[in-house]
């Protein structure tokens, strides 16, 4: 499944190739998607490459080829998680908590955090104080922290974090990722736990903490 921005960019590239035979520039992509910086375009291009929707043609400037197309229906934009707080429902015997399950969160490339109506039963002993929600992990960039693809991350809602904590970070108000949070000078650095991935650096205004990891649930 593509995020809204990934879908929009793929359609924009496809339509420009159909019309002009030349892929648009990064500046044109930034303007078309109303992004704040070209780094957002680079992230989207990389995500589309990872999912085999596009590929770069070697030895040619501005050379992108659309390999496949999804359906043209663009998914509705999801509201940020922090803007939809819910009370924490509990089972009658207080031994199991039904946490709101907000879809899949990327432990690799960022994807949109999808607001959903599903719930996940969680032993109350796994949770501390505060309001929590659950996210299904997608990707392998946190495997060295013991967080695997398909795990359920149990997240305590908060808008603050200390260096070294694993957080849900909302990037540019549209995409969310699960990473170690660190401050690096005037920048925010989001670190993976997999040596195959690189750290991601952002201006403070681009990143909003949506919660801290409080536990994991794994099904076998």
Residues 34 and 88 in one domain: no
Q: Tell me, what's the pLDDT at 107?
A: 66
Indicate whether 106 and 195 sit together in one domain: yes
pLDDT tens, residue by residue, 143-196: 999 999 889 999 999 999 999 999 999 888 778 899 999 999 999 999 999 998
Lowest-confidence region among 29-43, 66-80, 109-123, 199-213: 66-80
Catalytic residue among 39, 141, 174, 214: 141
72 located within any domain: no
Domain end call among 39, 66, 93: 66
Look up 141 and say whether it is catalytic: yes
**pLDDT tens, position by position, 24-66:** 888 888 888 888 777 788 888 888 887 788 888 776 556 788 8
Q: Where in the sequence is the domain holding 9, given as residue range(s)? A: 4-66
Phi, psi of 135 (to 5 degrees): -135, 140
Catalytic: 179?
A: yes
- Could you give the number of structural domains in the chain? 2
Residues 121 and 174 in one domain: yes
- Specify the CATH number for the domain of residue 34: 1.10.10.10
User: Mean pLDDT of all residues in the chain?
Assistant: 79
Q: Quick one: 162 and 204 in the same domain?
A: yes
- Among 12, 32, 66, the domain boundary falls at 66
Query: Residues 77-105, buried b or exposed e (16+ Cβ, 10 A)?
Result: ebebbbeeeeebeeeeeeeebebbbbbbb
Q: Give percent of the chain above pLDDT 90.
A: 28
């Amino acid at each position: 499944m593509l995020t809204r921005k990934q879908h929009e960019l793929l359609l924009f590239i496809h339509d420009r190739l159909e019309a002009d035979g030349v892929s648009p520039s990064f500046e044109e992509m930034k303007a078309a998607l109303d992004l704040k910086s070209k780094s957002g375009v680079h992230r989207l291009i990389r995500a589309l490459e990872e999912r085999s929707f596009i590929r770069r043609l070697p030895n040619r400037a501005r050379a992108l080829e659309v390999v496949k197309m999804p359906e043209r229906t663009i998914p509705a934009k999801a509201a940020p998680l922090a803007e939809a707080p819910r009370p924490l429902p509990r089972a009658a015997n207080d031994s199991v908590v039904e946490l709101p399950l907000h879809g899949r969160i990327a432990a690799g490339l960022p994807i949109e955090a999808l607001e959903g109506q599903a719930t996940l039963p969680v032993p109350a002993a796994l949770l501390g104080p505060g309001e929590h929600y659950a996210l299904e992990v997608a990707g392998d960039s946190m495997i060295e922290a013991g967080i695997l693809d398909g795990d359920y991350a149990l997240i305590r809602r908060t808008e603050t974090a200390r260096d070294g904590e694993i957080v849900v970070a909302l990037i540019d108000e549209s995409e969310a990722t699960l990473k170690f949070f660190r401050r690096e000078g005037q920048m925010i650095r989001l670190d993976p736990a997999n040596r195959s991935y690189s750290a991601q650096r952002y201006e403070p205004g681009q990143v909003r903490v949506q919660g801290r990891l409080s536990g994991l649930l794994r099904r076998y």
